[in-house]
Structure 1
Amino acid sequence: MKVKVSELVLVLVLSWVLCVSAEGKSLFTDIGITGCSDSDGEELYALDGEELWYADFVNKRGVEPQPSFIDHMSYEEGAYEGAVGQQQICKQNLKADLQSYKNPPLQLDPPSSPIIYSRDDVELDQQNTLICHVTGFYPAPVKIQWTKNGQKVTEGTSINVPFPNKDGSFRQTSRLEFTPQLGDVYSCTVNHPALDQSLTRIWDVEVQQPSVGPAVFCGLGLTVGLLGVAAGTFFLIKGNEIVYKVFA
């Protein structure tokens, strides 16, 4: 794991715990992250790369972004208050680190080109979710902005907290709730200090039409087959007529 220190990112502490199931067959990775800067902070708990709980320091609450199809895991009361306390410790450590390293220059790694896709198969007038994903950047976070037909969109958007990769970089995902309409064009734009210009990916509404190829070939084959049967029947009858005339 690379450890990077900059004037923007103060301290990042990663705790990895490996747990084996009761059967001794499955291996899981549990991770806790505490990070802070002069203007931001992060407290996150995840299992196998899926977020279980994170501190929302803007709205001053803990968030449990777990999907509905799993057994919900709740963290004990006071988890958010504990995260606030961890931020104070983190900021103190940051101050000491910056003094020790004498304010080292900022190290920047740009994000990858964004990937944008729909959560479900696209059906017109059926609510869906667009997902924009970037990875490989440092420091965190990135800023992600959505547009619809060239107009900025904020309603129905969300973004997860930065998640660390094994090489010390980060990945992050933003979502947009939308209802597909034919002809609509969406875009996801990513900004980061390491970029000279924004990265934008465009996605337009396309509905997959049923393929007519198999039906055409099937119909053609059936037609040819029927013609063959008709021709065979015709020659069979004519042949019988000739035989009958010869021996009549």
Structure 2
Amino acid sequence: MKMKELLLFLSCVLCVSAYGLHGDVHINGCSDFDAEDMYGLDGEEVAYADFNNHTEVYILPPFAEPMIYPGAYKQAVTELKVCRHNLKALSAVMKDYPSNDHAPSAVMIYTRDEVEFGEENTLICHVTGFYPAPVNISWTKNEQKVTGSSINTPYLNTDGSFRQTSRLDFTPQVGDIYRCAVEHLSLTDPLTKIYEVDSSARPDPGVGPSVFCGVGLTLGLVGVAVGTFFLIKGNECS
């Protein structure tokens, strides 16, 4: 096995409540070209070590209560050194060990919110069931490469495989075609999913109500005029 294909990952449940309501997880791993150290809570990513910028990154939304892991980045650096040491030792004795790579079992693309023309939204490309981590996800719009997307760190599934999600902000316009392409060392060709903005998306919400209101008002006025006409005719006959 090539060294670049050898990846060590360790994960442990730090704490689980007595009633099984919450689960805290810590995942760290390395290869000769990548590394990860991540904390999660109830299946959601909470913080990860950014080895490029030498800091711990917290990704909780602004409305959530702050959560801090004191000394987390320093610990991640120490564990990375240990991981790389173990990786070097294992690579010497596992050169002919058969690969255990698994291609992604599912790739899904969907929008964060209901689509409305001209309204900002987010496209989500979710990949799951692969091993080892990570995957590389790229985006195109109408066959042109798109930059500015984001991707979370790999998250461990209960079966030992991983999942990752990439997000791309976009403004829906009829006819636009978006693609997310997923690359993994187990794949010879990228897995691609397509999202096409079609006429089934909702138009500007202000147009429909205005049209129906105008039609309703017109029909109402016609009804009043017809009723008045017959009322006058009825009085003349009597």
TM-score interval (norm. to shorter):
0.7 to 0.9
- Encode CA deviations 1:87-129: one digit per residue, 9 max, x unaligned: 0011111122223434523222111341001111112222211
Compute the displacement of 1:26 (Å).
5.0
Report which of the two structures shows the higher radius of gyration computed on alpha carbons: 1
Q: Report SS of the residue matched to 2:119.
A: coil
Q: Does 1:167 align with 2:159?
A: yes
Aligned residue identity for 2:34? D
Compute the displacement of 1:170 (Å).
0.9
Partner of 1:31: 25
Taking a change above 3 Å as real, the CA distance of residues 123 and 208 of structure 1, as seen in their structure-2 partners, is: closer
Distance in 2 of aligned mates of 1:159 and 1:62: 16
- What percentage of aligned pairs have identical amino acids? 50
Distance in 2 of aligned mates of 1:71 and 1:26: 21
Q: Report SS of the residue matched to 1:114.
A: strand
Partner of 2:202: 208
Contact (CA 8 Å) 2:117, 2:202: kept in 1 or not? no
Contact (CA 8 Å) 2:25, 2:39: kept in 1 or not? yes
Partner of 2:68: 74
Partner of 1:183: 175
Q: Does 1:126 align with 2:126?
A: no
Partner of 2:224: none
Compute the displacement of 1:165 (Å).
1.2
**40, 43, 47: which one pairs with 2:37?**
43
Q: Report SS of the residue matched to 2:22.
A: strand
Taking a change above 3 Å as real, the CA distance of residues 70 and 26 of structure 1, as seen in their structure-2 partners, is: farther
TM-score (norm 1): 0.75
**7, 10, 14: which one pairs with 1:10?**
7
Distance in 2 of aligned mates of 1:148 and 1:96: 45
Q: Report SS of the residue matched to 1:176.
A: strand
Compute the displacement of 1:45 (Å).
0.4
Structure 1, gaps ≥5 residues long:
220-248
Q: Report SS of the residue matched to 1:152.
A: strand
Contact (CA 8 Å) 1:111, 1:137: kept in 2 or not? yes
Q: Report SS of the residue matched to 1:27.
A: coil
Distance in 2 of aligned mates of 1:200 and 1:102: 32
Contact (CA 8 Å) 1:18, 1:27: kept in 2 or not? no
Distance in 2 of aligned mates of 1:61 and 1:158: 18
TM-score (norm 2): 0.78
Q: Does 1:54 align with 2:51?
A: no
Q: Report SS of the residue matched to 1:187.
A: strand
Q: Report SS of the residue matched to 1:183.
A: coil
Distance in 2 of aligned mates of 1:39 and 1:153: 25
Aligned residue identity for 1:161? T
Partner of 2:221: none
Distance in 1 of aligned mates of 2:134 and 2:91: 20
Compute the displacement of 1:184 (Å).
1.5
Structure 2, gaps ≥5 residues long:
217-238
**4+ long deviations beyond 6 Å:** none
Compute the displacement of 1:84 (Å).
1.4
- Encode CA deviations 1:150-197: one digit per residue, 9 max, x unaligned: 100112x00011111122111111000112222211111111121232
Distance in 2 of aligned mates of 1:101 and 1:43: 24
Partner of 1:101: 94
Contact (CA 8 Å) 1:6, 1:104: kept in 2 or not? no
The alignment of Structure 1 onto Structure 2 pairs a total of residues equal to: 208
Partner of 1:19: 16
Distance in 2 of aligned mates of 1:143 and 1:179: 24
Distance in 1 of aligned mates of 2:6 and 2:56: 22
Contact (CA 8 Å) 1:98, 1:104: kept in 2 or not? no
- Root mean square deviation, CA, Å: 2.7
